[in-house]
Amino acid sequence: MVQLTTLEASASNEEILEVIHKDGAVILGDVLDDASIEQALEETMPYIDATRMGADQFTGFKTTRTGALMARSAACREMIMNSKVLDAAKTFLEPYCKRIQLHLGQIIRLMPGQEAQMIHRDRWAWGTYLKDVEPQFNTIWALTDFTEENGATQVVPGSIDWPDKRKPEPDEICQAVMTRGSALLYTGSVFHGGGENRSNGDRIGMNLTYTLAWLRQEENQYLSCPPEIARELPREMQDLLGYTMGSYALGYYTPPLPPGEGPEIVGPEHALGREVLGEGIGSEALMDGLMETIESSS
């Protein structure tokens, strides 16, 4: 019977990534304290309770998915910026980019009677067009206990190199059983899916994922956390949302103002009132990345 590795919250970046590169997923035990969980639930539960259930089998007829977490919850922002997870995400994704960004932030609630989700890869958000690139690093934070009965996430350890069309056998699938406050870290390539909730209570988890800054995000962060909200956040949160250049020439814009009343080409920082010299289009660091890409492909 296959099973996932569980590491202590104090595990090093190297220990975490060693398991992820082998299995595609790892559980970090008891990362969050009760106070952080209670604050996150208090701040988001009004939105969760107002969220409609899914409209198809994949999103779940008895599942709610509540987003815009960066804009709605201070506690969720702290989890999004968790240094241990961000360090692992950056190290894992750095072979393919200069910067990473928040791809998705939502709280997923599986209610009693929810059937198991189809096994899939999260990287299919971009279809099957990306080859030889790992596009994302994912997390699910347990805001309630994750048990076999209430729908703990199904995972297929070691499936990161499988062909897209391969179907896992039952004995190749296990569940991410973990205590409240723990987190499942997994790649965009590992096969997985929500479990079946056979219990009498809700299974609540927070799905936070990160991706290469040159790819389109699953959750449009510029609309979920527009400039009037984002400008009040710390700079590192603004950058993670995507309010910075994704690469040498990715993300700039021209404010549609009357002639002569505004700049023609500025980075997205400008929308937040930030003028960042040397980090937008034409910056030395991003140019170095562009040249490395060109040279490696020639």
pLDDT value for 248: 80
The pLDDT tens digits of the residues spanning 9-51 come to 999 999 999 999 999 999 999 999 999 999 999 999 999 999 9
pLDDT of 91 strictly over 50: yes
**Mean pLDDT within 136-148:** 98
Name residues whose C-beta falls within 8 Å of residue 189's C-beta, 6 or more positions apart in sequence: 24, 121, 123, 134, 159, 160, 161
Q: Where in the chain is the domain with CATH 2.60.120.620?
A: 6-212
Q: To the nearest 10°, the Cα dihedral for 75, 80, 83, 87? A: 170
The residue to which tokens 């209610």 are assigned:
111
Q: How far apart are CA 248 and CA 127, in angstroms?
A: 25
State pLDDT tens for residues 276-294.
Answer: 654 455 566 666 666 676 6
Residue 109 in this model has a pLDDT that exceeds 50: yes
Structure pTM? Answer: 0.91
φ and ψ at 50, to 5 degrees? -90, -5
pLDDT tens, residue by residue, 15-26: 999 999 999 999
- Residue-wise pLDDT tens digits, 228-252: 999 999 999 999 999 998 888 889 9
The full length of the chain comes to 298
**pLDDT of 167 over the 50 cut:** yes
What letter would DSSP give residue 116? Answer: P
Query: Quick one: average pLDDT of 86-108?
Result: 96
Q: Which residue has the higher pLDDT, 165 or 294?
A: 165
Top-level class of domain 6-212: mainly beta
In this prediction, residue 85 carries a pLDDT of 97
pLDDT digits (tens, 9 = 90+) for 154-163: 999 999 999 9
Q: What is the model's pLDDT at position 278?
A: 47
Short-list 62, 72, 144, CA closest to 105: 72
* Confidence band, pLDDT 50/70/90 cuts, at residue 298: low
Q: What is the pLDDT of residue 247?
A: 84
pLDDT at 281: 59
Side-chain half-sphere exposure of 294, counting CA atoms within 13 A:
7
